[in-house]
């Protein structure tokens, strides 16, 4: 089975639509979302509504929890906090109720799914091999898919050492059975790896591969909406840089 794994949509509806269209052409059997549906972007309600009926599994992320008032937004920087406060006022009752039901950690077809990290599914950032290695030691899993950093990457642990592999579009990586794996699927709505295109991953459970996909979307349209809604300038400026 092939699944499209999305994360960190961050209320960017144009990026989400582009990704869904691309995934439908890839003959996927289902969709998973690793959290942060909202926060930063201009269309929080619409993004949740678009995704909720499609998802086999959805996780809640730290920005979703902050928008629900369940995580203190003072933990965020000033701009992120402004966006969270704006988002809180936008969420409809049904969207709020849907997000309230989600967990930050689930298992699906033998995969561990977390928003942030296996040992701290809500807030820890796995940006380097040391943190990845700490997580390989701290939790039992064969393959874990995660988001949160907005940077796609593949960490593999051979029982002794942790290896780091970049993910490139069009170059599926095999999840070797004698290794353990931590795969970051990147961000749909606010990529931060220097490539402004929306990112997501296709997992093929039969072939045991993960493949990064990058999708163009109308960035200027989203920036114009964010500006019109009064969201902080640095949050929309960064979309064109992918930083
Ligand atoms: Zn995020």
Dump pLDDT digits (tens) for 85-143.
Answer: 999 999 999 999 999 999 999 999 999 999 999 999 999 999 999 999 999 999 999 99
Please give the distance, rounded to the nearest whole angstrom, from the Cα atom of residue 69 to the centre of ligand 1: 16
Dump pLDDT digits (tens) for 163-181.
Answer: 999 999 999 999 999 999 9
Whether residue 149 contacts residue 126, with contact meaning beta carbons closer than 8 Å, is answered with yes
Please give the distance, rounded to the nearest whole angstrom, from the Cα atom of residue 114 to the centre of ligand 1: 12
Residue recorded with tokens 């400026």: 237
Q: Number of folded domains in the chain?
A: 1
Please give the distance, rounded to the nearest whole angstrom, from the Cα atom of residue 219 to the centre of ligand 1: 18
- Which CATH number does the domain housing residue 196 bear? 3.60.21.10
Please give the distance, rounded to the nearest whole angstrom, from the Cα atom of residue 62 to the centre of ligand 1: 7
Please give the distance, rounded to the nearest whole angstrom, from the Cα atom of residue 79 to the centre of ligand 1: 13
61 contact partners, CB below 8 Å, separation of at least 6: 7, 8, 34, 35, 36, 37, 39, 104, 115, 116, 122, 147, 148
Please give the distance, rounded to the nearest whole angstrom, from the Cα atom of residue 203 to the centre of ligand 1: 20
Whether residue 26 contacts residue 167, with contact meaning beta carbons closer than 8 Å, is answered with no
Domain residues for the domain of 111 are 2-240
Sign of CA dihedral 97, 99, 102, 104: negative
pTM, two decimals, is 0.97
Please give the distance, rounded to the nearest whole angstrom, from the Cα atom of residue 47 to the centre of ligand 1: 14
């Amino acid at each position: 089975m092939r699944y499209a794994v999305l994360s960190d949509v961050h209320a960017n509806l144009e990026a989400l639509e582009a990704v869904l269209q691309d995934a439908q052409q890839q003959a996927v059997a289902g969709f998973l979302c690793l959290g942060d549906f909202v926060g930063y972007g201009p269309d929080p309600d619409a993004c949740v509504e678009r995704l909720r009926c499609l998802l086999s599994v959805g996780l809640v992320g730290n920005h979703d929890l902050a928008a629900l008032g369940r995580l203190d937004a003072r933990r965020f920087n000033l701009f992120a906090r402004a966006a969270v406060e704006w988002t809180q006022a936008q969420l409809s009752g049904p969207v709020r109720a849907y997000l309230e039901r989600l967990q930050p950690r689930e298992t699906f077809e033998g995969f561990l799914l977390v928003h942030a990290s296996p040992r701290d599914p809500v807030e820890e950032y796995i940006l380097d091999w040391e943190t990845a290695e700490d997580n390989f030691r701290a939790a039992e899993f064969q393959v874990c898919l995660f988001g949160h950093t907005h940077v796609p990457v593949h960490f593999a642990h051979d029982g002794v050492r942790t290896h780091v592999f970049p993910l490139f579009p069009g170059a599926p990586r095999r999840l070797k059975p004698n290794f353990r794996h931590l795969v970051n699927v990147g961000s749909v709505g606010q990529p931060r790896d220097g490539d402004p295109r929306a990112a997501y991953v296709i997992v093929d459970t039969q072939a045991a591969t993960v493949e990064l996909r990058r999708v163009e979307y109308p960035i200027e349209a989203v920036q114009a909406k964010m500006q019109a809604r009064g969201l902080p300038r640095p949050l929309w400026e960064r979309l064109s840089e992918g930083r």
